[in-house]
Structure 1
Amino acid sequence: MSKVTLEGHIIVPVQDLKPVLEALPEHIALTHAEPGCITFHVQQSSKKPHRFDVYEEFIDKQAFEYHQRRVKESHWGAITSNVIRHYQVSEESE
């Protein structure tokens, strides 16, 4: 089994900042409830309010791919369609 980690950040356009902030708590709660989620953090930058640092760990590739599919079909996926994503995904064998 290989743990999957995603690290990086997103840049939220000005017009999308309020809806993203409103939807973020539910997105975090739904992700934490997913099978295979080890940790999931999204933190708004105090210096650059349109930047959110992201860190995710899932138990394996299957859990990570489930998360990706769920997000694309969710309210979060819709309101973040204009977000610029800067991610690095890695797999670590245990």
Structure 2
Amino acid sequence: MTCLRSIFGLALVGSVLLTVQSARADELVAGSYPGQISIAAFVTAPPGKEKEFMATFAKFTQEVRAEPGCVNFDVHQNSKISNRFFVYENFKDQAAFDQHVSAAHTKNFVQFLNSSGGVLQFENWTMVTERRAP
């Protein structure tokens, strides 16, 4: 199994995708955010720990949604491999993403992943087109 070095400087294991709409999504989408930071994260939970991961993601999602620069945070579960998750996150800009990374709830989530045997793989993307409002 491949382990990637995370932005947090910790080797994590997993392939999880979570998606959570921000409470301020309409406000943030109304503008154009060149340079918006997008993250595609994959989390793999140890087999049998799916419910524990889902409960932790639910709490983490609410905390991330409350961040001022969070455009969205969405978590998905693989329909055929129940211990695999995909998380799609967008932040208004690099400063908002940096704030997310340094937040206590993010550090706590990473600690949970490390201690539970979860694996995290992610890629950073920069939005280059304007986003249409829903």
- When normalised by structure 2's length, the TM-score is 0.61
In terms of fraction of residues, the more helix-rich structure is 1
Q: Letter of the aligned partner of 2:102 in structure 1?
A: R
What stretches of structure 1 of length at least 5 have no aligned partner? none
SS in 1 for 2:68: coil
Cα RMSD of the aligned pairs, angstroms, is 1.9
**Match of 1:53?**
86
Equivalent residues of 1:20, 1:79 under 8 A apart: no
Match of 1:83 among 118, 121, 131: 118
Q: Letter of the aligned partner of 1:4 in structure 2?
A: I
* Mapping 1:7-86, distance limit 5 Å: 7-14=40-47, 16-70=49-103, 71-72=106-107, 74=108, 76-81=109-114, 82-86=117-121
More RCO (CA 8 Å, sep 6+): 1
Distance of 2:43 and 2:96 partners within structure 1: 21
Superposed displacement of residue 35, structure 1:
1.1
Superposed displacement of residue 27, structure 1:
0.7
2:124 is aligned with 1:92: no
Equivalent residues of 1:4, 1:59 under 8 A apart: yes
Equivalent residues of 1:4, 1:92 under 8 A apart: yes
- When normalised by structure 1's length, the TM-score is 0.83
Q: How many residues align?
A: 92
SS in 2 for 1:38: strand
Give the structure with higher Rg (CA).
2
Distance of 2:80 and 2:86 partners within structure 1: 12
What stretches of structure 2 of length at least 5 have no aligned partner? 1-33
